[in-house]
Structure 1
C-alpha cells in the first residue's frame, strides 16, 4: 500500500468549467444532472427549450456534490458521454482531476468523516434554505492515496454498499408484500368493492384526545418529569424512539394523557402526503404521554382491531378523506379533532381483521431480522470508511 497524501478539496474543485444557456439551443437535447434527477437515479434527457436557466458544463467522470439541503448526502459521478452535451445545475459543486478516481472521491464525500466537516461550512436558516459554501468546502482536507489504491478502496466500499442496498431492497419488498396482503383481504378501501359496512365513524367507537401542551402554564401546581412523544417520534406504522424528550406535567395531565397498549397515535398535520400518518403504542416505555400535536385514538369497541385501524387510516381511504377535510396553508395540511372523529370506517368481520394482524406480524418478524442485519452492515460500512480514509484498509 503506497502512502497517501493530504490535499484540500480546492485543489480538485473545478471552478472554471464554463456554462451554457440551453434555451438558446432550443432543439438540442441535453443530459441534465439536477437535484431532482439525482433522486430519480439518472440524468434528465431534456430539450434546451424546456430548460429555463444557465447550467454548468460538465464531463464524464466529474464528481458532483450538492451544496443545498446539505444534511442529505448527495454525491454523483457524471456518467458516460452518450452523444449529448452534459450539463449540471448550479446546486452542484464540481470536482475534477487526474489524481482522483471518481468512485473513491464519491465515497469520501458521502462518508461520515467528511460530512461532519461539510456541515460546518453551511449557512442559511433551516431546511431547504441551508447551503454549503464552496469557498469553505475548498479548505477541507482529505487523504488521497495512489490511483490504484483509490480503486481498491472504492471496490471494497462498493461491495459493502451493494450488500446494504440489497438488504434495503428486501425490506422494501416486504413492505410491498404487506400492502398486497391488505389489498387482498380488504380490497380497495376507497371504492369498497367487497361491500364492507360504512355506516360508523371513528368518533362513535373511539375515545380521541389531543395531548399535553408544551410550555403550558402550571401556576405553581405540583408536577413531575415524564417522557412524552412529539411528532418526530410518530412515523408511518413505526415509532422512532432514538430521542425521547421529557416534560413537567401534573398528575391530572399524566392520568389523562398516559398511553396504553393498543392506542393509535396520529399526527395532526405536516406535508399533505403525510396526512393519516400514525402507529400503535405497544408499551415501548414503562410510562409515557403525548404532546398536543398528536391525537391518541383509544378504541371503545371490540369490533375493530387496532392494527387494522392503523392500516385503514393510513390507506388511500384515510389519505383522501383527510386531504379533503384538512386545512391547508403554504404546503402544510392539518386536521382537527372533529374531522378525525368524522372519519368513515370500513368494518370487515373482526375475525378477518385478526387474521390480517397475524399475517402481518409474521412478516414483521422477517423484517426485524433484516433490519438487524442492515444495522450490522451499516456499522461495518462505517468502520470500513473510517479505516479506508485513514489509510488503514
Structure 2
C-alpha cells in the first residue's frame, strides 16, 4: 500500500517574490518566455530578465483558470492568478503534474481555486515507481496530442473550403445577401435550476454550460439535470443540431460556438439557435466560427462585456443560396468521416483511463 501525504507536506508554493508581468506588456517575440494561466503554454515573451529560475521542474497552476503546466526552464510569471508549485525531493515533478490532472476542482467562476487544490491527498509510491508512471503517462499524452493535432488540421481544411466557396463572411467581398439570424431561426437561452436543491442535479438530461462550448460538437456535459429541475426552471430541451453561442464567461469564452450532437438543456449564458429549414446548420456552424472575433466584439457592459439573445437575433450574416450551403455541408461531412476514422477519441479515452489507474496503484507496481 502506498503512503498518502498531504499536498502541503510535499509541495511548496514558491510564487512569492517573483515579479509578475501584466498582459499589456507581452511581446510576440522576445528573449524570455512568459508562463501565465491561459490555455496557451507560452503566453508571450519579454526582453527584460524577470525570470523565475528553475532548478527542479515546477508545476504552474492557474488559480482562476485551473490550467496546469509542467515547466522545466526559466520563465517570467504572467499576469495575476498564477501559482508556481515546487515538489519536495521525494516527489517527482512530472508525477505531480499528471496527478493534479486527476483532481476534480469545484467550479467557482473567476474565483481562486488553489485553496481547494491544497486540500488534496497525494499517493506517494517509491520514487522509481513515480518515474515509471510519469513515463507511461507522458507517452499516452504524446499520442493524444498528435491525434488532437490531426483533428486541428481537418478543422483548418474545413475553414479553407469555406473561404474558397463563400469568401470572408465579415467583409462579404462576394456580395451575398445579408440577413439577421432572428429572421432565419428562433433564438433563446436556458436557465440554471436552483443549486440549493441537490435532486435537480442527479438526473440524466445533459445540461450545457459555456465552458463546454469550444467550437466543436457537444456530445457530453459535465452536469446533468433531472426532470424535476426542468419543470422547476425555464430550462428546456433543445434538439440535436441546435447551434450554441456562449454569451459570457471566463477568458475567451464569449462568442464561442458549439453544435449539439445530443438533445440537451443549457444554462442562461448559452444562446441557442434552433434548427430551421431556412439554413443549413453545418454551414451556419462554420460561418459563426469564422465570425468569432466579430461576434465577440458585440459584447456590452463594463469589466466583463456580455452578449445577449437580442444582440444575436439582430446579428447579420451572409446568406448564400441554400444549394451552395448544402454543397458545403457535403464536403464537411466527408471531412467529419475522416475525423471519425482518426484515433483522437480513443487516444483521449486511453489517456484518461491510464490517468485514473496510475494513482490507484493499478498501472505499475
Is the TM value for this pair above 0.5?
yes
The reply to whether residue 197 of structure 1 matches residue 189 of structure 2 is no
- 1:47 maps to which residue? 48
Cα contact 2:57–2:93 (8 A) shared by 1: no
- 1:305 maps to which residue? 280
Write out aligned runs for 1:312-327 (5 A).
Answer: 312-316=287-291, 319-321=293-295, 323-324=297-298, 326-327=299-300
SS at 1:127 equivalent: coil
Cα contact 1:270–1:332 (8 A) shared by 2: no
Q: How far apart, in 2, do the equivalents of 1:296 and 1:183 lie?
A: 25
* Equivalent residue for 1:277, pick from 251, 256, 275: 256
Normalized against structure 2, the TM-score is what?
Answer: 0.71
- 2:217 maps to which residue? 238
Q: How far apart, in 2, do the equivalents of 1:240 and 1:4 lie?
A: 37
Shift of the alpha carbon at 1:359? 1.3
Shift of the 129–364 alpha-carbon distance from structure 1 to 2, 3 Å rule, reads: same
Q: Deviations over 1:243-291 (max 9, x none)?
A: 321354569x89xx55345443434433584444344445x34xx5555
Cα contact 2:59–2:86 (8 A) shared by 1: yes
Shift of the alpha carbon at 1:353? 0.8
The reply to whether residue 157 of structure 1 matches residue 158 of structure 2 is no
Q: How far apart, in 2, do the equivalents of 1:226 and 1:7 lie?
A: 36
- 2:85 maps to which residue? 93
SS at 1:61 equivalent: coil
- 2:200 maps to which residue? none
* Equivalent residue for 2:348, pick from 375, 379, 388: 375
Q: Deviations over 1:342-375 (max 9, x none)?
A: 2222122222211111111222223233333223
- 1:354 maps to which residue? 326
Cα contact 1:238–1:278 (8 A) shared by 2: no
Q: How far apart, in 2, do the equivalents of 1:159 and 1:213 lie?
A: 40
Cα contact 1:4–1:145 (8 A) shared by 2: no
Q: How far apart, in 2, do the equivalents of 1:186 and 1:59 lie?
A: 49
- 2:68 maps to which residue? 73
The reply to whether residue 343 of structure 1 matches residue 315 of structure 2 is yes
Shift of the alpha carbon at 1:189? 0.9
SS at 1:179 equivalent: helix
- 1:221 maps to which residue? none
Shift of the 7–166 alpha-carbon distance from structure 1 to 2, 3 Å rule, reads: same
Aligned residues: 341
Shift of the 20–315 alpha-carbon distance from structure 1 to 2, 3 Å rule, reads: closer
Q: Which moved more, 1:149-158 or 1:37-46?
A: 37-46
Shift of the 319–87 alpha-carbon distance from structure 1 to 2, 3 Å rule, reads: closer
- 2:112 maps to which residue? 129
Cα contact 1:62–1:94 (8 A) shared by 2: yes
- 2:164 maps to which residue? 184
Structure with the largest fraction of helix? 1
SS at 1:206 equivalent: coil
Shift of the alpha carbon at 1:135? 8.0
Shift of the alpha carbon at 1:45? 5.2
- 1:174 maps to which residue? 154
Normalized against structure 1, the TM-score is what?
Answer: 0.67
Q: How far apart, in 1, do the equivalents of 2:274 and 2:15 lie?
A: 61
Superposition RMSD in Å: 4.6
